[in-house]
Every structure is written in structure tokens, then in C-alpha cells.
Structure 1
Amino acid sequence: MKTFRIAILAYPGCMAAQVFAISDVLGIAADIDASLGQTRRLRFELQVIALAGRSVKVAGGLALQAPRLQGRVDLLIVPGMETRRQQDWSAKLAPLGRELAFIRKTFAVGTPVASVCVGAFLLGEAGLLNGRRVTTAWLFAADLAARYPAAQVNADAILLEDGAVTTTAAVSSAFDLSLHLIKRHLGAAVASATARAALLPAQRASQSPYVDHGLLAPQLPTFSQGLQQWFEARLAETYDLERVAQAFHISGRTLMRRVKAETGKSPLTLLQDARVVKAKQLLSGSDLSLARIIEAVGYSDAASFARLFSLRVGETPAKYRRRTL
């Protein structure tokens, strides 16, 4: 039987939940694979390692005993770390020089590397993200893109695999990574059965349904930020480009050009963004009917708004309300 060896790198301040989530779900999968009565194709062998080979103080001040790496592995997983919304990433990463060198060296000898959540910052610091499509927790995606401009950051993705580098979304994406590995090596049937046994979603394609815009710092340049705020105060009004332009004492063409240059979007797209954000707030935080909410954000056609909402959020307004209320 083939063995697939995985090492999870424990380091000071890492999130133990992400370490153990992977170990536990792979263990469930192994049991399910054995119970299906088929010849087992592969066995996962997982070790939690620490470079010092002794106790590591992880997030929350807990002590985790972890040995040094023994032999070669087929995959190195780097969990995320305890962090804050306004994080000084240089200061946060500076004490992890030894871990960064280990990640860099491990990858250089041909070992694939995966990260969970903000573990992507360690991969970026080690130089593994350059030119790759990557993701991380939506709350820190802008930070990742700013710090590693050579990376192509997709803030919506749950999991992205680009060559020998895999990155995942926020904390619970440790489960998505586990199911991805199970499906890859044990098959879709085992992955689906494992998800059912562990009460996990079998497949999540996007972080968009989980984004809370109230937690995000303003991302737009000054002019476009002002335009978005103007829209937010007039969401129910009919869109008229010339009227908007007059409010800012410029022509419609200048308005279009300036917003496009700053954001890559049109003024109408900014308005649609604002309408979807407000609809999400009302769906999860009010008792208003869906029809009233649609009207409050400037739509008269429920089907048109549902299409827009689903495209931006990844699920229908009704499903979003059921999940968030």
C-alpha cells in the first residue's frame, strides 16, 4: 500500500485548530475508506513537526509538543497564525526566519507546500507565491496582495492549487484542504462520505457569502470612495450617469474615466456593489421581507436582483438569509 506522508509545521503563534482539523478529518477518512470494503489504495501518514523539536507555544498560549521532521514528506502544510485586523506583518513575520528558511528549502527540493488561512503570508515571505494564483482569508486578502504584488490574489476563492503550491481561505478552510486531499488520493466517494460523517460542506467554491464589509477597511481611492458613499445615501434612486456626474461637477465621460482609472470598474458597478452590501446587511439584520429589501436597494425586478446578488455573493438572497439569520 502506498503511503502519502504529510508534515504540518507547528510554529510559535500558529492556530492549533487548523493543525488538528486536518489530522482529525484525515483520520475519519481513513476509517471510512477501510469500511467501504475495497482494497485501500493509499495510507495517510501525518506528523506535526516543530523545527526546535520540542514544545511550541501556539495561539492562545497553549503548549504543543512536536518533534523534528523525520525523513522526506510528500506535502508540507503551513497553518495560519493568531493575528489582528490591523496587523504589522513585518513585525509578525520577523521572528519566524527559521521557519521561512525551512519552507523555502523544503519547496526547493521538490516538496509541494500548502497553506491554511494566513499561513499564505509565510509562503509569500519565503518567495513561493510569485507569479501564482493564490488565496487567503478574505479579511487579509488586500494585505497579502499589497505585500506580495507578484502574486495573483483571489479573495473569493476557498482553495487554489497552482503547481506545487496550494493556498486556502480562512480558518475553517483547513477542512476544505482536508477534503481536497481525500478526494485527490482516496476518491470522491470517500471524500463525500467523510464530509457527511463530519457534518462538513462537501464543496465550497467561494468566500463571498461570508464577507462582512463592516470589518474591511475602505479599499477605494479618495474620489471613488466619495462616489461610493454618495451612492450609499441614494441606493433606492434610479441610476443616471449625467446626474451623478453633475453632483461631482464633472462630465459623465470624465466620471467614467476617473472611476475606471482608480478601480477598474464603472460607476454603475460601484453602485451595484453598494446595493449588494446593503442587501446583505438587511437580509441578515432585519425582518424586512425580501420584496421590501429589493425595493430599498433600488430594484423593482426581483429576478434581476437575485441574479446580481447570486453573481456577487455566490448564493441566492433567500439562501443567504437562511444561513445568516
Structure 2
Amino acid sequence: MRIAILAYDGCMGAEVLGLSDVLLVANRISLLRSPDAPAPFSISIIGTKAGQVRLAGGAQLSVLAPMPFDLLVVPAFDFDNIEGITTALAGLDEEKAFIRRAVEQRKIASICGGSLLLADAGILDGRQATTAWALAGEMARRYPNVEVIPDAVLVRAGEIITSGAFTAYGDLALQLIRDSVGSSLARAVGRFSLIDHSPRSQATYLDHRLSHKRRESLERAISTWFEKRLADRYRLDTLADAFNLSSRTLLRKFRAETGRSPLELLHDLRVERAKLLLETTTLSVAQVAAEVGYLDVATFSRLFARRTRLTPATFRKRFHVADVTVF
């Protein structure tokens, strides 16, 4: 399979080189298994024209001119704020035109925020797609004709595959290996590279405090108010009084800004706090639940699992920071 990775000024170098290297590992393992068989992947790093591109962070990378390929992979771009997304996309007209030409005859994949570049090129309209969880809300706002699946690591929509946050280049690589060669080689590459080849979800890693979205003043103010009272019982009338609004007006204003209720925001903030406690303390699950306002452990555990795809105990086992690290 001929895979071309599209590099451009400001793109994330680790996604370009990481994908290339994982597929190189696949070639090497395949050769060890079948010395006389051809390598399953031909990987090239291309630009819209040959030359040098400046990666995010400043490193220079030589890229080839476009050449025949079966799959084009588009990595993410760097930005520092929401306005920076608009600026970055405005400077990538040549890449968007190249993507539009490519999708007419070839398969396309993206890594992380590269899906915003696909969406801005207009090729995701009417399709499902994913992106980095922190960008999902902004992507949905910018491209209402795209059905964004925020917690998915990989989404296949016809001939287009989009993948989740930064290191999802590993998940994409294993999927390409499975598609082209088979699960046996994908498992071997996953073990060699320490990439989990079992199905994953971005929901486990989501942190609403880091999401790149426009947070209007009411949501920001209510978030701050909730964060000081996470363990308190939720009462809509108390919240409304704190902001000198009627309950009905507060609900209407908040839903107009965010598309959800204040209680849903509170649940998110409580789960974020619970994740921190599970990661950094030895409090029992019941104690953590109480710390964030849930007296019923079963209710807390169900809510936590819905939002993270892990039980509290499994989350702690995976992410708890131990006092002693063994290398």
C-alpha cells in the first residue's frame, strides 16, 4: 500500500514521523516473518510541492513532490487559541485544494486536528468524523454539516478515516496494518511499539477544562461558582438566585449558550475532580464520591463510567500516580 503523508508549514512533526516509523516497524516485522515477500507499505512524506516545510516547534523537514499514492494522511496543525485555528486554516489553501483533488480518486485519513483541515476543505460534509477530544466542540460549531463523534479514536466514513488526539497516529497505523495485512501483524507491531491494539475511547482522557471552545461569560461564571461547591447538593433555585435570575431564565440562557443544562456541567466538573482524586490520593471510591457530592456510590460509579468508559476502580488502576516509579 502506497501511503503519502502530507507535511506542511506548522504541522505536528511527531504525527508525520510517528506514523511513518510505526509503518516502518510493520515493514521490518513483515520481512522477518516472510523474507521473500515485498514490504506491505511504501511510505512517502510529501508536500504540495517539493522543498522544505517548517514543522510546529521550528524543525525543518524536506518533503517530496506529490507522487502516486493509495492513501493520503493529513496530520494536525499547531495553534495557540481559537482564533489561531482560523488563521492556520486560512494559510492552507493549497493543501485544501490538494485534499479535494485527492479524495476524488484516493482514500484519505487524518490525525488529530487534521480533521479540521479535511472539514475546511469540504470533504467531511454529511459524514461522521472525529478529532482530538479538546477540539470536538469547536469542530462541531465550525462545521455543522459534519457529525462529530467526540469520544471516538477512529471513525471510518466511506473512504475517509479520521482519528483522535495527538498520539492516535499509533491507532491509525495499526488500523491500516489490519486493513492491508491482517490482525496478526497489527498485534505484533502493537506489542513491539507499546501501542494498545484493543478498541479505545477518548472519553477516558477528556478534561473539560482544557477543551478548545468558546466559553461565554455565563458558563464561565457558573463553572467557577460550581467549582467552589462541588460537594453541595444541586438546587436550581439556589443557583439562579446567585446570578439574580429566575430558574427559567437561567436555564434558557445557559442552554442557548451551551446546548445543555447547568446540571450536566456540574456532573462534568464533578467527574473531572473525581479523576484527579483517583489519580493522586488513596481515598476509597466511596470517599471520592462523597468529596464530589454523591452519597450513593452506585450512582456515582454509573455516571463516572458513562463519561469516561471506565469504572472508578479501573481508572485508578490505570492512572494512579504511585510514590515510587520503577523503570
Q: Which TM-score applies when normalising by structure 2? A: 0.85
User: Structure 2 counterpart of 1:291, which letter?
Assistant: A
* Unmatched tracts of structure 1, length 5 or more: none
Residue 10 of structure 1 corresponds to: 7
Pairwise CA distance, 1:255: 6.0
Residue 113 of structure 1 corresponds to: 108
Determine if contact 2:77/2:88 at 8 Å carries over to the other structure.
no
The residue correspondences of 1:304-323 to structure 2 (distance < 5 A) are 304-321=299-316, 322-323=318-319
Residue 96 of structure 1 corresponds to: 92
Moved more, 224-233 or 13-22: 224-233
Determine if contact 2:111/2:169 at 8 Å carries over to the other structure.
yes
Determine if contact 1:104/1:126 at 8 Å carries over to the other structure.
yes
Matches of 2:305 and 2:114 in 1, distance apart?
29
CA deviation vs aligned residue, 1:194-234 (integer Å, no higher than 9, x gap): 10111111134221222233323675655555544444333
Out of 180, 183, 188, the residue aligned to residue 183 of structure 2 is 188
Matches of 1:228 and 1:93 in 2, distance apart?
30
Residue 298 of structure 2 corresponds to: 303
Determine if contact 1:42/1:185 at 8 Å carries over to the other structure.
no
The reply to whether residue 44 of structure 1 matches residue 41 of structure 2 is: yes
Matches of 2:169 and 2:310 in 1, distance apart?
22
Shift in alpha-carbon separation, 1:324–1:207, aligned structure 2, 3 A: farther
Residue 155 of structure 1 corresponds to: 150
User: Structure 2 counterpart of 1:319, which letter?
Assistant: T
Matches of 1:262 and 1:98 in 2, distance apart?
35
Matches of 2:249 and 2:90 in 1, distance apart?
45
Determine if contact 1:9/1:76 at 8 Å carries over to the other structure.
yes
Q: Percent identity?
A: 41
Matches of 1:21 and 1:86 in 2, distance apart?
26
The residue correspondences of 1:252-291 to structure 2 (distance < 5 A) are 262-291=257-286
Moved more, 255-264 or 201-210: 255-264
Equivalent position SS for 1:43: coil
Out of 40, 51, 56, the residue aligned to residue 53 of structure 2 is 56
The reply to whether residue 212 of structure 1 matches residue 197 of structure 2 is: no
User: Structure 1 counterpart of 2:103, which letter?
Assistant: F
CA deviation vs aligned residue, 1:147-172 (integer Å, no higher than 9, x gap): 22221222222111111221111210
Out of 233, 236, 245, the residue aligned to residue 238 of structure 1 is 233
Matches of 1:218 and 1:286 in 2, distance apart?
30
Pairwise CA distance, 1:68: 0.9
Determine if contact 2:130/2:162 at 8 Å carries over to the other structure.
yes
Equivalent position SS for 1:238: coil
Matches of 1:159 and 1:34 in 2, distance apart?
28
Residue 122 of structure 1 corresponds to: 117
User: Structure 1 counterpart of 2:7, which letter?
Assistant: A
Equivalent position SS for 1:189: helix
Figure out how many residues of one structure are paired with residues of the other and give that number.
320
Out of 174, 177, 193, the residue aligned to residue 179 of structure 1 is 174
Determine if contact 1:10/1:49 at 8 Å carries over to the other structure.
yes
Moved more, 255-264 or 153-162: 255-264
User: Structure 2 counterpart of 1:91, which letter?
Assistant: T
Determine if contact 2:13/2:55 at 8 Å carries over to the other structure.
yes
Pairwise CA distance, 1:297: 1.0
CA deviation vs aligned residue, 1:247-283 (integer Å, no higher than 9, x gap): 6677766666665555444444333222212212322
Equivalent position SS for 1:60: coil
Moved more, 298-307 or 73-82: 298-307
User: Structure 1 counterpart of 2:11, which letter?
Assistant: C
Matches of 2:246 and 2:89 in 1, distance apart?
47
* Unmatched tracts of structure 2, length 5 or more: 322-327
Matches of 1:77 and 1:89 in 2, distance apart?
19
Matches of 2:165 and 2:216 in 1, distance apart?
26
